[in-house]
Amino acid sequence: MAASSHRIMLGPLVAAIDQGTSSTRFLVFNSKTAELLSHHQVEIKQSFPKEGWVEEDPKEILQSVYECMERTCEKLTQLNIDISNIKAIGVTNQRETTLVWDKETGEPLYNAIVWLDLRTQSTVERLINKTPGRNKNHLKHKTGLPISTYFSAVKLRWLMDNVDEVREAVVCHRAMFGTVDSWLIWCLTGGKKGGVHCTDVTNASRTMLFNIHTMDWDPELCKYFGIPMEILPRVRSSSEIYGLMKSGALSGIPISGCLGDQSAALVGQMCFQDGQAKNTYGTGCFLLRNTGPKPVMSDHGLLTTVAYKLGRDKPACYALEGSVAIAGAVVRWLQDNLGIIGSSEELEKLAASVGTSYGCYFVPAFSGLYAPYWEPSARGIICGLTQFTNKSHLAFAALEAVCFQTREILDAMNQDSGIPLTQLQVDGGMTSNRLLMQLQADILCIPVVKPSMPETTALGAAMAAGAAEGVSVWSLSPEDLSEVTSEKFEPQINPEESEFRYARWKKAVQKSMNWETTEPSD
């Protein structure tokens, strides 16, 4: 089809900024067909200044967004697609990652502390020790979350306790706190010249400062962590016009969608019904199940979180979430730290060359264990080694680890809901690994279904932006949602073998626990 005639057929376009832990992407979709037209991706540097510390540079994050936007617009122009057809921009982001900046200078006051950072372990222990009965679930009735290094409030508390610039800015009423979505929206809508300081309900629900029942910041929670409420962004729905782009080729276009990445993937996978679920394989691994308009509390170590609120006057929907800290990050570790692979594609080849871990189990508890254990003292462990074990077995064990961790959160999800999932919808970068997908089906003993367009997180943000009041170019009513083509992986091993391997995995997990009792002294 000639480019010029193709141009006539395109309806309104919607773009999405997808700012993840390891990369930033900008993607442009056709709002009528949900087809991905063009995108650009830039890797983000992570720094590890001390053991257990993970940081990113807020200015590099912002710069990567501008770069992805510019490159994507150039690619669209080459495809003869008019960028003035872009009617809205959605934002989706790595959640919990914590930033503080100066509202007068617009400068960050410290690096972004990334969600899987562990420096707050002593802060967490101190907070838990002051709760009645030393209960990590002391705030769960309001937040849906255990007190953990994972969430933003403890990172913000650490910044206020340990960084002079942050403390001074808070005292002088110049500090602004935000997760990555807030930082990006504030900068893109003008920054120190009138930028909009806001977040959406899904990102807010990951801070431990947000009451998931009242759907607003909670004065008691803020008092508990000693956080002044004036530094917090305004909480908005996930689909409304927050402000307009203030610079670049897309200046004047509304930013009208905002969802934490895992919520965005739930929307992008069209999981709008109570009971529908998806699992995303990114840096970590996140299984979310829509529980409808009522928050459901887990008895099996899952989080209760806000799934989305698609409009100011629309009801909020909630989800149960199983969060695994290390999934794709284990691939990066094998590549950057051990040097046994040169790329993620190589991992699949290496693992496939042996087809078994030969009794080797790898528990990548680099940031402690998240769901369903919430055990910050755990550390990574490789066990079951013999003289026969080689790097190919380790590669296979790393892929199995991702699958076993998913099995643990799926089991918890099934126990909480009482209705077992009959298949698993998946997305995220690692789903391009076909061996991983087959292993996942084998270990879960249910089919794994992967959409042929893997960018579901960005799609969810674009849907929220395009459906916003005042934009209204994307219909979310069930009959208008486009049919998704997908591929299905069926289990191929007998359940007994699967159960045996899973039992061994659980034994390995027990051995990884209670390793680090508190933060090592400098």
State how far the Cα of 519 lies from the Cα of 125, in Å rounded to an integer: 10
Each residue's pLDDT tens digit, 66-125: 999 999 999 999 999 999 999 999 999 999 999 999 999 999 999 999 998 989 988 898
pLDDT in tens, the chain (522 residues): 444 445 545 789 999 999 999 999 999 999 888 889 999 999 999 999 998 899 999 999 999 999 999 999 999 999 999 999 999 999 999 999 999 999 999 999 999 999 989 899 888 988 888 888 888 889 999 999 999 988 999 999 999 999 999 999 999 999 999 999 999 999 999 999 999 999 999 999 999 999 999 999 999 999 999 999 999 999 999 999 999 999 888 999 999 999 999 999 999 998 998 888 899 998 888 999 999 999 999 999 899 999 999 999 999 999 999 988 888 888 889 998 889 888 888 888 989 899 888 889 999 998 888 888 888 888 999 999 999 999 999 999 999 999 999 999 999 999 888 888 888 899 988 898 999 999 999 999 899 999 988 889 999 999 999 999 999 888 887 777 777 778 899 999 888 888 888 999 999 999 998 887 665 444
What is the pLDDT at residue 8? 44
Q: Which of 237, 239, 236, 276 is nearest to 255 (CA)?
A: 239
Sequence spans of domains, the chain: 13-261
Q: Kindly tell me the burial class for residue 73, based on how many C-beta atoms sit within 10 Å of its own C-beta (0-12, 13-18, 19 or more).
A: buried
Measured CA to CA, the distance from residue 491 to residue 143 in angstroms comes to 37
CATH no. of 13-261: 3.30.420.40
* CA–CA dist 451, 481 (Å, integer): 14
Q: What are phi and psi of 125, to 5 degrees?
A: -60, -40
No. of H helices and E strands in the chain?
16, 23
pLDDT confidence of residue 265? 94
Estimate to the nearest angstrom the gap between the alpha carbon of 81 and the chain centroid: 31
Tokens of 76: 């669209």
Q: Is the Cα dihedral 75, 78, 83, 88 positive or negative?
A: negative
Element (H, E) at 517: none
Cβ-proximal residues to 70 (8 Å cutoff; 6+ apart), any chain: 248, 249
pLDDT of residue 4: 47
DSSP assigned state of 148: -
Q: How far apart are alpha carbons 60 and 66 in whole angstroms?
A: 10
Contact between 309 and 317 (Cβ < 8 Å) = yes
The type of residue at 63 is Q
Query: Which pLDDT does position 496 carry in this prediction?
Result: 87
> Per residue in 339-378, pLDDT tens?
988 888 888 898 989 988 888 999 999 888 888 888 888 8
